[in-house]
């Protein structure tokens, strides 16, 4: 049985805590590895390595830091098939979907290749009498990232790429459910020329998270996961004097206007609702057709497509989606489908009980469709994180707009329409962080920032884009005046520009 440890100080190390967790193959239900769960002492060892390596890395000029990422991008492309297969074995998503996971992380690494420009400060000559003023952006020191199971390549790179490019050292605590890809990324960073100790990967559970949040040498923490844990991480980090950006749950709506191209809308819902078995924080889980005719046409077109979804293991290159990540996830999603039936929603397509020949013990749930879902139902309020789509019928545009506006979460939302006025009004008024107009999953590209509103996000700065450079650096402002501009005698009044 394969034993997975940690990556500290530029090399793999075995766990010493005596605690471990099981890693399963989601398609078969079989255990394929064990992963060590770090103790406080092991987190501290990673921090000590990072702290020792960071000053020299921060003093490395930004062009040389960028060159590491140029090489890393090259290695990611070279090893794409290996990374995607490794990811799929532990997560369960299709290989093509896993390649997308790696690619969206790679794009952030491409973005930070511009760190010589991104990290520049500002200068004002003659800000006062014989005074020049300038600001510089310096790294925070040692940063940490706590990442979820659903994107084990993309989200770690969203965090460590800008942090390291800015001159920081980094402690990554990935999900213990699929830990192999983050460790492989650390190997590739070393191969790309990153000094040992700058990127450390420490596997663990809540004990490791708490050790990160209370360690006095970790200055900043980035987190992606559920909203209750995001609140906990944000509050604990703040109490311990750390800056934090924490991203939580989502319940993403897609409004379908009567004038929308229905075939385009249906295809968008299929990919956004059922891709990756719905295990995406930007998955569309609520369809809101405006008007009964729109709703009837939508459901009529959705049903045969959902019933014909091809579900299979990652080894099936024709599969549309794979299994859920764990047995617990499987039980939770099935339980929420049961709950939807109890609450009175109309179960149009039932994905419970799906079995795949030869993979009877896998964590597969078939595509599921509810109609006539009401806002007071648990299946509407809860992030299901499975291949379940709910249709909430709206009488008019204002009623449709009101649904995502009043929902607890504010991660992403989309509208499908041919009406530019409606689209513009929607984008202007909606209280959601990321909006798609005829785009079902509006994840911004790497040079814009990713982040939700309301209970989907805690902290002032988002992931990637220029926000990430601000988050992983501190601004230092210098006011300089040389002897020829200094008057004789002491000055006792507040300095002004008079």
Indicate if 193 and 304 belong to the same structural domain. Answer: no
Total number of domains constituting the chain: 2
How many other C-beta atoms lie within 10 A of the C-beta of residue 433?
Answer: 23
The secondary element (H helix, E strand) that includes residue 69 is helix 62-78
Q: Is 166 a catalytic residue?
A: no
Indicate if 237 and 372 belong to the same structural domain. Answer: no
The predicted-structure confidence for 430-475, as pLDDT tens digits, reads as follows 999 999 999 999 999 999 999 999 999 999 999 999 999 999 999 9
d(CA 227, CA 482): 52
The domain that holds 327 is classified in CATH as 3.40.309.10
| Within-domain flag for 486 | no
6 SS3 class? strand
Indicate if 92 and 198 belong to the same structural domain. Answer: yes
| Within-domain flag for 423 | yes
| Within-domain flag for 493 | no
pTM for the full predicted model: 0.96
Whole-number pLDDT of residue 128:
86
| Within-domain flag for 188 | yes
For residue 321, give the DSSP letter: B
| Within-domain flag for 162 | yes
At 109, list the tokens: 């690494």
Indicate if 175 and 303 belong to the same structural domain. Answer: no
Q: Which pairing describes strands 30-36 and 2-4: parallel, antiparallel, or unpaired?
A: parallel
Give the list of residues 6+ apart from residue 257 with CB closer than 8 angstroms, or none: 290, 294, 397, 415, 416, 417, 418, 419, 422
Indicate if 311 and 216 belong to the same structural domain. Answer: no
The domain that holds 470 is classified in CATH as 3.40.605.10
Print the domain residue range for 213: 2-248+456-478
Indicate if 298 and 197 belong to the same structural domain. Answer: no
Q: Of the residues 109, 113, 166, 281, which is catalytic?
A: 281
Whole-number pLDDT of residue 498:
63
For residue 453, count CB atoms less than 10 angstroms from its CB and return exposed for 0-12, middle for 13-18, buried for 19 or more.
middle
Indicate if 12 and 138 belong to the same structural domain. Answer: yes
Indicate if 194 and 321 belong to the same structural domain. Answer: no
- Phi and psi, residue 217, nearest 5°: -95, 0
At 261, list the tokens: 């191209």
Pick out the chain residues at pLDDT < 70. Answer: 485, 497-498
Indicate if 256 and 327 belong to the same structural domain. Answer: yes
| Within-domain flag for 379 | yes
Q: Which residue has the tokens 């290749």?
A: 113
How many other C-beta atoms lie within 10 A of the C-beta of residue 71?
Answer: 17
| Within-domain flag for 242 | yes
| Within-domain flag for 451 | no
Indicate if 334 and 244 belong to the same structural domain. Answer: no
Indicate if 91 and 196 belong to the same structural domain. Answer: yes
For residue 16, count CB atoms less than 10 angstroms from its CB and return exposed for 0-12, middle for 13-18, buried for 19 or more.
middle
Indicate if 243 and 273 belong to the same structural domain. Answer: no
């Amino acid at each position: 049985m394969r034993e997975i440890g940690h990556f500290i100080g530029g090399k793999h190390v075995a766990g010493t805590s005596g605690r471990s967790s099981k890693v399963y193959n989601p398609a078969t239900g079989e255990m394929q590895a064990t992963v060590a769960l770090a103790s406080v002492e092991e987190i501290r060892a990673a921090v000590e390595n990072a702290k020792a390596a960071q000053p020299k890395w921060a003093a490395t000029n930004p062009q040389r830091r960028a060159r590491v990422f140029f090489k890393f991008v090259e290695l990611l492309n070279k090893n794409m098939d290996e990374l995607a297969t490794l990811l799929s074995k532990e997560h369960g998503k299709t290989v093509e979907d896993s390649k997308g996971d790696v690619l969206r992380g790679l794009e952030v690494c491409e973005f930070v290749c511009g760190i010589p420009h991104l990290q520049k400060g500002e200068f004002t000559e003659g800000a006062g009498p014989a005074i020049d003023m300038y600001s510089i952006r310096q790294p925070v020191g040692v940063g940490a990232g706590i990442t979820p199971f659903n994107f084990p390549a993309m989200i770690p790179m969203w965090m460590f790429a800008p942090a390291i490019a800015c001159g920081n050292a980094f402690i990554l605590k990935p999900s213990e459910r699929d830990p192999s890809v983050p460790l492989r990324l650390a190997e590739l960073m070393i191969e790309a020329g990153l000094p040992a100790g700058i990127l450390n990967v420490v596997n663990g559970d809540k004990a490791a998270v708490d050790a990160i949040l209370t360690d006095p040498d970790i200055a900043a923490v980035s987190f992606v996961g559920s909203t209750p844990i995001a609140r906990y991480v944000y509050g604990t980090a703040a109490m311990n004097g750390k800056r934090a950006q924490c991203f939580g749950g989502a319940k993403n709506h897609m409004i379908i206007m009567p004038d929308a191209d229905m075939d385009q809308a249906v295809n968008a819902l299929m990919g956004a609702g059922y891709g990756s078995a719905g295990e995406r924080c930007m998955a569309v889980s609520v369809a809101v057709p405006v008007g009964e005719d729109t709703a009837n046409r939508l459901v009529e077109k959705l049903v045969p497509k959902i019933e014909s979804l091809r579900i299979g293991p990652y080894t099936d290159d024709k599969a549309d989606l794979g299994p859920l990540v764990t047995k617990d996830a499987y039980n939770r999603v099935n339980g929420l489908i049961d709950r939807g039936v109890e609450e009175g929603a109309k179960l149009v397509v039932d994905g419970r009980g799906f079995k795949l020949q030869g993979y009877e013990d896998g964590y597969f749930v078939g595509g599921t469709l509810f109609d006539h879902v009401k806002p007071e139902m648990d299946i509407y309020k809860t992030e299901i994180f499975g291949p379940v789509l709910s249709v909430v019928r709206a009488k008019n545009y204002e009623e449709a707009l009101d649904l995502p506006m009043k929902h607890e979460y504010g991660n992403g939302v989309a509208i499908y329409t041919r009406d530019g006025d409606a689209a513009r009004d929607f984008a202007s008024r909606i209280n959601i962080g990321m909006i798609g107009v005829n785009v079902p999953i509006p994840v911004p590209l790497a040079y814009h920032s990713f982040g939700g509103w309301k209970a989907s996000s805690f902290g002032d700065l988002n992931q990637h884009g220029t926000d990430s450079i601000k988050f992983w650096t501190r601004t230092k402002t210098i006011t300089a005046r040389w002897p020829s501009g200094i008057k004789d005698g002491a000055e006792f009044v507040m300095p002004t520009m008079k």
